[in-house]
Amino acid sequence: MVEDNDVTLVLLDGLDPLPTPTWRRSNTNSASLELVTEAGSLPAAIPTVTISDDGGVRELDDSDVDEALTARFEVLECAAGPEAAALIAASSTPYYLEARTPREPALARSAATDTPSEAVAATQAVVTSGAGATDLRVIVREGTDATFIWPHGHNTSSTDPVLAVDPAATASENPAPTPSCSTGRRMRLVAERDAHVKLILTNTSEDAAPSFESIDLLAEQNAHIEVIQATLGRASSTSGLSAGLVGDDARLTVRSAYLASGTQHVDVSYVVHHLGARTECHLDTHGAAFDEAEKTYKGTIDFKRGCVQSIGAEREAVLLFSDRVSNISTPVILCEEEDVEGSHAAQIGHVEEDVLFYLQSRGLSVLQAQQVLVEAGFSPILDAIGDTDTRQAVQSTLTARLRQGIDRRNHA
């Protein structure tokens, strides 16, 4: 621990641990971050929730939260690791949300036939929280279609994203801001039977203080959780996701993108446990790394005994814009069941000169050609965001950081 006036630097170890710590030589079993804290702890960051007009999402007060509900969240493992879980628990108070799609009585599920009701529009909530620690717990009730947006670094209530950089300027003209307090956020989400949940998680922060997040999910029978994640912040960060597909026919889809530049360290970790029969997960990640950045990707698909006829697939594609980049990709498949299908793929490499030459022959500058190549991989993630304000904030940050990174590379 290092103290400087009111600022205390705390080293947080064991972040995003692998379920099977066998990668000691590559030093990827877990990650570490030096957090900027206030006297050794993070302040509580109380979230503000903007709810769609249908009122399908509501905050639960003390009278709504009983031991049974609390227990459903306590069993979820913390993707960021036990030290991060302890820090969040000590620094914040749990904040509960419930999503229940409003329905007319005539559209309710029939108990006699157990048939689903007519399709209804998704209810939506935007969660905003500042620097500090946030403990968010969300339960999505049976048959509910809900979207949750949780940005870090911009406010979706404004159409003008908050950016502290000039997109056209170089890094020397955009000095790194003074770090404030670090951010540590944890979301625990339970999707009940037949629920469909879309999570949009973005980091566009220009703050220099490192941050970490833990997204801990549980999907019951026939539930589908879709995660859209964009990690584009300036500071070092870790982003862990752990999912338990406990119900038969449960599904998880993750589409994510990241940028790493300067001396930044970016750690992305996904762990998916298949427990129910015929469960599916698809992890698709795109990234770009510049300068002397350190980037680690860890993807673990864990087939537990009994998850017959389940499918798990992961893919990562990353473009490297410097020979000094440290790039580690660790795809892992664990298997206790025979009747399953698992696959992983990685596409890692530098920008090919013949591709750049072709794009330049079509009238693009070197900078434009390199930017097109990166944005081509990121466009499916941007398109999937849906929410206009969030998409604009992510696009603006992506454009700004790409221009700065490519400009430094071309003038090196």
Q: Please, which residues have CB within 8 angstroms of residue 352's CB and are 6 or more apart in sequence?
A: none
- pTM for this one? 0.87
Q: Please, which residues have CB within 8 angstroms of residue 113's CB and are 6 or more apart in sequence?
A: none
Q: What burial class does residue 319 get, using C-beta atoms within 10 Å of its C-beta: 0-12 exposed, 13-18 middle, 19+ buried?
A: buried
Q: Which residue has the higher pLDDT, 234 or 105?
A: 234
Arithmetic mean of pLDDT, 373-399 = 88
Arithmetic mean of pLDDT, 186-192 = 97
Arithmetic mean of pLDDT, 162-177 = 37
Arithmetic mean of pLDDT, 101-116 = 43
Average pLDDT of the chain, as a whole number: 85
pLDDT level of residue 164 (50, 70, 90 thresholds): very low
Q: Which residue has the higher pLDDT, 223 or 116?
A: 223
